[in-house]
């Protein structure tokens, strides 16, 4: 079993690469955003709870998020491993993920951080915004604020995995295939 945390700022290419790695290594891709949207849309107990926080403009508490992830992991008991995309975002969430995986006799094997210059990220998001319909991808000011929040609040999770020698910085600039190859070199060394 191989469990990966796919990490990077908005626009780094996490979604694109997660799809490719999921297919190549037969892993289950768990996108926190997708899990939230599914639970809210289907009005699950966890979705209803999360929605009360979101509707008030608050962050969903770590425990609600980890409970959603636990449910996703348990739905995939026979998985060869997982790609966690969008989680963890804090040290507390990283610790919760470790506890969850330990309870399943597993662990995070690596954090793969896709890195790119801010100007490249802004351009990618603006380009994506032209076709995605996402308002947060169409406004440069909002994009720069998202990057600022990422660096202030989320980027610190790197140090958690650096201390465990599980952090791998991956150059996120180049063709989709080149970036997949860089990620694959790290993953292949984990086996």
Q: Which CATH number covers residue 28?
A: 3.40.50.300
Highest-confidence segment of 39-43, 89-93, 132-136, 165-169: 165-169
- Has residue 96 been placed in a domain? yes
Instruction: Quote the Cα angle for 78-80-32, to 5°.
Output: 90
Domain residues for 40?
2-183
Interior angle at CA 111, CA 96 and CA 86, nearest 5: 60
pLDDT tens across 47-77, in order? 999 888 877 777 788 888 899 999 999 999 8
Residue 163 in domain: yes
Mean pLDDT in residue range 163-191 = 95
- Selecting among 20, 70, 128, 158, the annotated active-site residue is 128
Q: Is residue 191 part of a domain?
A: no
Q: pLDDT per residue over 147-174, tens digit each?
A: 988 888 787 899 999 999 999 999 999 9
pLDDT (mean) for 114-131: 93
Mark whether 37 is an active-site residue.
Answer: no
Is 124 one of the catalytic residues? no
Cα separations (Å) of 78 from 27, 106, 109, 146?
Answer: 10, 13, 18, 36
190 belongs to a structural domain: no
**Looking at the chain, how many residues does it have?**
191
Largest CA distance in the chain: 44
Count of structural domains, the chain: 1
| Known catalytic residue at 134 | yes
- What is the b/e burial string over 132-148, where b = at least 16 CB atoms within 10 angstroms of the residue's CB? eeeeebeeeeebeebbe
Our answer to whether residue 89 is catalytic in this structure is: yes
Which residue did the predictor score with more confidence, 55 or 42? 42
* pLDDT value of residue 90: 86
pLDDT in tens, 20-39: 999 999 999 999 888 988 99
């Amino acid at each position: 079993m191989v469990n990966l945390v796919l990490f990077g700022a908005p626009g780094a290419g996490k979604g694109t690469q997660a799809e490719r790695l999921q297919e190549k290594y037969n892993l289950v891709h768990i996108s926190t955003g997708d899990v939230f949207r599914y639970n809210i849309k289907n009005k699950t107990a966890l979705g209803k709870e999360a929605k009360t926080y979101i509707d008030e403009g608050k962050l969903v508490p770590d425990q609600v998020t980890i409970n959603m992830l636990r449910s996703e992991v348990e739905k995939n008991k026979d998985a060869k491993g997982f790609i966690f995309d969008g989680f963890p975002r804090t040290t507390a969430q990283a610790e919760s993920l470790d506890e969850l995986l330990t309870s399943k006799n597993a662990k995070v094997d690596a954090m793969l951080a896709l890195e790119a210059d801010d100007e490249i990220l802004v351009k990618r998001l603006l380009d994506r915004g032209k076709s995605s319909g996402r308002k947060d991808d169409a406004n440069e000011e909002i994009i720069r604020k998202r990057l600022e929040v990422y660096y202030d609040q989320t980027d610190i999770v790197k140090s958690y995995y650096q201390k465990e020698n599980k952090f791998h910085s991956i150059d996120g600039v180049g063709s989709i295939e080149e970036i997949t190859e860089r990620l694959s070199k790290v993953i292949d060394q984990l086996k």
